[in-house]
Structure 1
Amino acid sequence: MQTDIDPRSLIGRKAFDRDGVKIGTVDEVYLDDATGEPEWAAVRTGLFGRDAFVPLEPSRVEDDGLRIPYERALIREAPGFGVGRHLSPAQELRLYRHYGLELPSPEPPPAADGTAAGEAPSGGPAGTGD
Structure 2
Amino acid sequence: MFEAVDIREWQGNAVVDPEGNKIGTLDAIYLDTATDEPTFATVTIGLPTRHRAVLVPLAGANVGPDYVKVTHFRDQVKNAPSIDDGGELPASDEPDVFAHYDLDYVQGSSGERRLARG
Q: Same fold (TM over 0.5)?
A: yes
Q: TM-score, normalised by structure 2?
A: 0.74
Report the Cα distance in structure 1 between the residues aligned to 2:86 and 2:33, rounded to whole angstroms.
15
Identity over aligned pairs, percent: 34
Please report the TM-score for the alignment, with normalisation by the length of structure 1.
0.68
Query: How many residues matched?
Result: 108
Equivalent in the alignment of 1:76: 78
Name the stretch that deviates more: 79-88 or 11-20: 79-88
Of residues 77-86 and 98-107 in structure 1, the stretch that sits farther from structure 2 once superposed is: 98-107
Q: 1:63 aligns with which of 62, 65, 71?
A: 65
CA contact (8 A) 1:14 1:65 kept: yes
1:90 CA drift (Å): 3.1
Which is further off, 1-10 or 40-49?
Answer: 1-10
Secondary structure in structure 2 of the residue aligned to 1:101: coil
Q: Which runs of 5+ in 1 are unaligned?
A: 109-130
Q: Counterpart of 2:82 in 1: which secondary structure?
A: coil
Q: Which has the larger radius of gyration?
A: 1
Query: Paired residue for 2:114?
Result: none
Offset of 1:83 from its aligned partner? 4.3
Mapping of residues 23-62 of structure 1, within 5 Å: 23-47=23-47, 48-62=50-64
Question: Matched residue of 1:91: which SS?
Answer: helix
Q: Deviations over 1:36-74 (max 9, x none)?
A: 221211111121222121111132213331111112111
Bigger drift between 89-98 and 12-21 goes to 89-98
Q: Quote the Cα distance in structure 1 between the aligned partners of 2:88 and 2:38.
A: 13
C-alpha contact 2:8 2:29 (8 A) present in aligned 1: yes
Q: In the alignment, which residue of structure 2 is the partner of 1:99?
A: 101
Cα distance change of structure 1 residues 79 and 98 upon mapping to structure 2, 3 Å threshold? same
Select between 64-73 and 29-38 the one with higher mean Cα deviation.
Answer: 29-38
Q: What letter matches 1:101 in structure 2?
A: L
Aligned counterparts, 1:110-121, within 5 A? none
